[in-house]
Amino acid sequence: GAGVSQSPRYKVAKRGQDVALRCDPISGHVSLFWYQQALGQGPEFLTYFQNEAQLDKSGLPSDRFFAERPEGSVSTLKIQRTQQEDSAVYLCASSVLLAPYNEQFFGPGTRLTVL
């Protein structure tokens, strides 16, 4: 079956623009995660959803970052007034359940470049 998909794959934004990044998780997966990966570093946790409920947003770097998953499937990560330091790959992952032994399946990521 299809894996996690993300769109767009690449996004170039001018500083100050708003962007929206989409994640389509694997069908039936309850948990959804967003991570941010700066160049040359490992991914860092941003936020977590269980169905439509955002249970943890402790990793969001500022109030310019907002994520939603209104129907418990597709999720959107929105960044308002983008800054150069927002340039990174944004990864989405989903898993069947919350239990730690459930592996997270990652999408290919969206590479955001802010000029």
Residues in the site for another protein, rule: CB under 8 A? Answer: 4, 31, 33, 35, 41-45, 48, 56, 59, 91, 93, 98, 100-101, 103-109
Q: How far is the CB of 81 from another protein (least distance, A)?
A: 27
Q: What span, in angstroms and rounded, lies between the C-alpha atoms of 52 and 71?
A: 6
Q: List phi, psi (to 5°) of 114.
A: -105, 120
- In the complex with another protein, the residue whose CB is nearer, 5 or 80, is 5
Q: How far is the CB of 8 from another protein (least distance, A)?
A: 14
- In the complex with another protein, the residue whose CB is nearer, 17 or 87, is 87
Contacts of residue 6, Cβ cutoff 8 Å, sequence gap at least 6: 21, 22, 23, 24, 90, 91, 92, 107, 108, 109, 110
- In the complex with another protein, the residue whose CB is nearer, 33 or 65, is 33
